[in-house]
Structure 1
Amino acid sequence: MSDDITDGSADVVGVLTERIEAHFGMGMDQLRAAVAVAPTANPDATEVVKWHGHLVDSQAVLDRAEDDLLAALETQPSEIDDPTMGLAQRVNAAVTARDGRAQVVRWLLDSDAPGKKGLAAERLARLDRGARKGPAVPTSAPHRPAAVPASVPGAGRAVL
């Protein structure tokens, strides 16, 4: 029974992995290696590799949660106890996380996805155009005199 659940959910990772490989024309191991060597050479590839890693990690969490739930269900009488319901909720949360990451990967691979063309894409490109090293407008420290003039009463004395 656990094979049915795991095989169905693992297909999400398998299908997206195949799409990534077709999109970039190389296997995931090659793509990961290329991104590791030159992460700035292809920002799209770098993002896809990062999110594919998140997807694989979330699938592993989901697989463990499903295994734990199935093990608990095998020992349950006809009614399910609270700890087992907690495991079921953990599975639901893991599915949600995995599916969300899968959506990000799908979006990254779709050049026609909403937000990738038009005004939204232009705004995003302006934000991404190199990380700012400083303020947008050049600034300088305000001019301050080196010492307090002697003509100021109380200059140089501590005020309590």
Structure 2
Amino acid sequence: MSHHFLLIIHLLAATVWVGGHLYLSIGILPTVLRDRNASRLLRFEKSYEPIGMTALVLLVITGLWMTLQFGISWHQWLSFSSPVERITSAKILLLFLTVLLAVSAQTRVIPRLKQNPAKLPEMGLHIVAVTVIGIAMLVLGSFVRYGGI
């Protein structure tokens, strides 16, 4: 598959993933925390999850595929040995952190939000962390055009 086509899919998926989390962090979270009511947050999560998770899967697939097209085999991942490989390694580590935060949110925090509004600040930290990670991954990816970091 053409690298340019993969990049377009990757960028569209990043738009959905990062844009959704920015909207959640800036548009929804402040009101939810102020009102101490998780219902709006849970409605957003339920409606965004199918498209957000699809975007994340597409990001992983296209990102790894493009990495292979750059000649970086999976044996080199996390070796930080070349400029583009440093970006790949950093993005893989940030992806693992995102997955850990998602598992924590899905298994520990979200199930308790309806009954316990005291979990809202913890959920807010998860949301902001995933948003910042998404932005960091976007910025790192932009450096590939310049040969890496």
Q: TM-score, normalised by structure 2?
A: 0.49
Larger gyration radius, structure 1 or structure 2: 1
Q: Which has the higher contact order (CA 8 A, sep 6+)?
A: 2
Q: TM-score, normalised by structure 1?
A: 0.46
Give the helix-richer structure, 1 or 2: 2
